Amino acid sequence: MWARRSEVRAERDKRRNFKQTPPASDLHQNYKLIVYINVEQNLQNLFKKAIYQPESRLPGDIFSLIELKKAKITKIKKFGYLGLSILSLSGSVFSIWGLIEQSTQLGFFKYLSLAFSDGGIIATYWKEYTLSLVDSLPVASLGMSLFLLFVLFISIRGISYQFKNKILIA
Amino acid sequence: MENSDEVLINEYITGEEKSLKIIIDRYTPSIYNFSVRFVGIENANDITQDVFLKVWKNIKKFNSDKASFKTWIFKIARNTITDYLRKKKSIHFSSLNTEEEIYGENIPDESMLQDEVFSKLEDTELLNKILDTIPVGYREVLILYYQEDMTFKEIGEMLGKPLNTVKSYHHRALLLLREEFV
């Protein structure tokens, strides 16, 4: 009985001692880790202290610069769209004028008026009628006119967008 | 509560001008400090302005799925600085690329860095002086890691380099710092 108690006590002391004094290699590793953490912490603190601070007006200056650039771009776009719309408008006028003249020369309007005056003939000879109508159409002029009208539409939309933006910002 | 960068960018794109101001206020000190380290105090204001102009021009191209805004803006700052240094024909960030191929995968044990030299440091002026002398590639890793609190992964994304290479740069930068301090 006594022998067994002493054995148990010896075993317990052995475990306790092991907990209190870990092997030398473990101690060394822990020390290295602590030093490493301290080094990291100190380095971090040192770097944080060494940060260069900008002048307090710099963010405001940057924002103003961006606003200035934005205004400049808006102005360029506005004048660009305005010029484009004037050019496309005058181009469209001439192009439509030419389209009407060419259509008259080729007899397009005569063929067209036939559709309203005598529906019966057209119903009978619709194939020939369609071919004649297409043949009398000045395709190049029509294409040019449509293109210029499209450019005019885009430029007017661009101008209105720029004005809308300006009103929103204001 | 502070809005995240991504929320602010979305707000700005949808027409909220104030959001851009908040972003500028938030990042000006970091970009300025980063710029000073490579182009000096006298040019840092111009570089910082250029960086934010580029951010503004390309803000619609920013994709939060690819990288965080912080990584993106520092990438822009780095490119702006590289362009500036190239124009001045100074050394630039890519000067370390060949060295990286030699040491890239050979990362020493970080426990080697333990040194009481660092624990005694308090002299910021000395640190700034030493930082000016170490190679730019190492310098940027140190600045991004210790001053901008970026992770190695984020730094790697920003520099377009593997994680191990960034760790290697960090390690060698610390060794150089230690040498200089000693």
pLDDT digits (tens, 9 = 90+) for A56-106: 999 999 999 999 999 899 889 888 999 999 999 999 999 999 999 998 888
What pLDDT, on a 0 to 100 scale, did the predictor assign at position B104? 41
Comparing CB atoms, the residue among A33, A39, A168 nearest residue B115 is A39
Domain match, B113 and B75 both: no
Residue with tokens 């803006």, as numbered in its chain: B73
Single out the residue in B25, B60, B87 at which a domain terminates: B87
User: Is the separation of the CB atoms in B44 and B2 below 8 Å?
Assistant: no
Domain match, B73 and B105 both: no
Show the domain range for B66. Answer: 5-87
Comparing CB atoms, the residue among A33, A38, A49 nearest residue B119 is A38
Domain match, B78 and B100 both: no
What pLDDT, on a 0 to 100 scale, did the predictor assign at position B107? 43
CB contact under 8 A, B146 and A47: yes
Condensed to tens digits (0 to 9), the pLDDT of residues A112-161 reads 888 788 777 777 888 888 888 888 888 889 999 999 999 999 999 988 88
Domain match, B98 and B175 both: yes
Residue with tokens 């205004």, as numbered in its chain: A71
SS3 content of chain B, % helix, strand, coil (to 5): 75, 0, 25
Task: Extract the residue ranges of chain B whose pLDDT is less than 50.
Answer: 96-114
Domain match, B22 and B76 both: yes
**Taking CB atoms and an 8 Å cut-off, how many pairs form between chains A and B?**
94
Query: Taking 70 as the threshold, does the pLDDT of residue A36 lie above it?
Result: no
Domain match, B153 and B135 both: yes
CB contact under 8 A, B49 and A38: no
Q: Where in chain A are the domains?
A: 1-51, 59-170
Q: Which residue of A has its CA nearest to B37?
A: A52
Establish whether this prediction's ipTM goes over 0.95. Answer: no
d(CA A12, CA B38): 63
What pLDDT, on a 0 to 100 scale, did the predictor assign at position A96? 92
Residue B117 sits in a domain of what CATH number?
1.10.10.10
At residue A27 the predicted structure's pLDDT band, cuts being 50, 70 and 90, is: low
| Tokens describing residue A110 | 């005569």
Q: What's the total number of domains in chain B? A: 2
Domain match, B54 and B117 both: no
pTM, to two decimals: 0.69
Condensed to tens digits (0 to 9), the pLDDT of residues B145-178 reads 998 889 999 999 998 899 999 999 999 988 888 7
CB contact under 8 A, B44 and A65: no
**B4 CA to centre of own chain:** 20
